[in-house]
């Protein structure tokens, strides 16, 4: 068994990747899931679902609290008193850049590399996907290639970082997830949960997720019927 760390946000991409690692018979991995509390507005929603998924799959789950690291960072995604509101619209729109947390994935990956080295894991899986490329520089293949090299040269164990979904869209990821039996009710994506703890259906993140379920002819199980109808209507308004 190869000890492996997966960064599990609790969203669609990393959850599908986790299912793929443990359900694919030819992959002899002993998986540890690593999640981060970094102080985003939707962090507690994501972490709760990540926890449920690990329980369901009987996988070790570690949550690392790095909230204070991001206290002085500027992003609409962070739960600061003076942070901007989460923008609504299409996920690749220019105004979505407000939700970028500067170098977040570079920082979290670096911590994951140190953790992997500490527990004798030689491989890290990271669920970045093609839809992230438009606004998140630290999700692009070029960045992943270079940080992978840094991890390899910066550890005794020669820790490798793999991002197998980096050229897949969320539509393609959910298509894979359908075949793997991923329980998507135990995932969270929305950046701006409503007061009654439902996904807003309007932030860029919700729009991308809605598109992916809709194009796979699936209903997103995190919505009730009325909420899903509204999310689909909103999707057709913003594309
Ligand atoms: Zn939303």
Above 80 in pLDDT, residue 126?
yes
Contacts of 60 (CB under 8 A, 6+ apart): 31, 32, 33, 54
Q: What is the pTM of this model?
A: 0.96
CB atoms within 10 A of CB 219: 16
* CA gap 144, 29 in Å, rounded: 21
Distance 146 CA to ligand 1 centre (A): 31
Distance 192 CA to ligand 1 centre (A): 5
The confidence band for 26, taking pLDDT boundaries of 50, 70 and 90, is: low
Lowest mean pLDDT among 38-42, 56-60, 115-119, 131-135: 131-135
Distance 157 CA to ligand 1 centre (A): 40
The pLDDT > 70 percentage for the chain reads: 99
Above 90 in pLDDT, residue 119?
yes
The confidence band for 72, taking pLDDT boundaries of 50, 70 and 90, is: very high
Burial 88-114, CB ≥16 within 10 A → b, else e: bbbbeeeebebbbbeebbebbbeebbe
Place of tokens 């997103």: 220
Lowest mean pLDDT among 115-119, 127-131, 183-187: 127-131
- What does R_g of the chain's alpha carbons equal in angstroms? 17
Distance 134 CA to ligand 1 centre (A): 18
Distance 59 CA to ligand 1 centre (A): 28
Above 80 in pLDDT, residue 27?
no
């Amino acid at each position: 068994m190869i000890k492996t760390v997966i960064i599990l946000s609790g969203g669609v991409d990393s959850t599908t990747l986790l299912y793929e690692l443990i359900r694919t018979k030819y992959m002899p991995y002993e998986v540890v899931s690593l999640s981060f509390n970094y102080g985003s507005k939707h962090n507690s929603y994501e972490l709760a679902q990540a926890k449920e998924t690990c329980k369901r799959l009987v996988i070790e789950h570690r949550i690392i609290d790095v909230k204070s690291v991001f206290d002085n960072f500027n992003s609409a995604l962070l739960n600061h008193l003076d942070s901007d509101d989460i923008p609504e619209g299409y996920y690749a729109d220019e105004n979505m850049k407000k939700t970028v947390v500067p170098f977040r994935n570079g920082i979290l990956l670096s911590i994951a590399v140190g953790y992997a080295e500490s527990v004798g894991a030689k491989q890290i899986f990271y669920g970045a996907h093609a839809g992230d490329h438009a606004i998140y520089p630290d999700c692009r293949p070029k960045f992943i290639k270079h940080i992978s090299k840094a991890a390899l040269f910066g550890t005794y164990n020669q820790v490798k970082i793999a991002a197998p979904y980096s050229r897949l869209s969320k539509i393609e990821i959910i298509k894979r997830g359908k075949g793997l039996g991923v329980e998507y009710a135990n995932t969270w994506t929305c950046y701006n949960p409503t007061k009654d703890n439902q996904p807003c259906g309007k932030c860029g993140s919700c729009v991308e997720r809605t598109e992916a379920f809709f194009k796979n002819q699936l209903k997103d199980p995190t919505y009730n019927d009325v909420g899903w109808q509204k999310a689909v209507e909103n999707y057709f308004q913003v594309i």
